[in-house]
Structure 1
């Protein structure tokens, strides 16, 4: 519970209470206008309490997330770029190898519960395959090299 009593959390609590009170007051104000004959205010009389409910929903969600704390799927867990550990070969990390690879090539533990890295294959086209695509790529390269130029200045 001490995590919810830090200065930033106290500001969040005060902000949430202030928003709920303000949205509730605006809803009550719209109800009084609607009763006085403004038909459009009935929609706003429903809308403001919905906003207050959303603030309560987000506040509860953030409190639960903070109280959950050190679970491995929190945002405070180091990402792949934050680790200080040097890169290891795939066999040493236990990451599964290609489909159909022998079990010893998959590393210790096999593929159970470990994600494989995504390998993207880029296919390049030649002028024989798609000349319109090549012309468009030249145009985009020219636009990238000349960001201040007008489209009518393109030499192609």
Structure 2
């Protein structure tokens, strides 16, 4: 039966978007096959463990009632993460929006402020003995960059 060119949709044959055969090829790479297998194995194991907890709970182990609910929740979480990753992969990479151009000019580069490294004298003129000893220690460390604090002779 010939197709009517006015109503024939060729978009699905030319694009590689989600839902097309080319889009589905992304889910059959070796990494994705490993993810599919891991999802199936985890879901089967989690549901099996849930059934095991149901049988233990039926035998009188009351703690197993909680676990009988927990394992199927884990299986559901695995399916949720797997489905979300499949949808993310089929959507393809997102196009980053271009950053807006700045309307405010960039600030000018300023020169660094020079600061004196000489310790200042106390305001009242009296010299603190411990402070003076500590400043001598720091001066010695500054003059001997390879020295360790334990090598200080004072």
Q: TM-score, normalised by structure 2?
A: 0.49
Q: Determine which structure has greater relative contact order: mean sequence separation of CA pairs < 8 Å that are 6+ residues apart, divided by chain length.
A: 2
Q: TM-score, normalised by structure 1?
A: 0.49
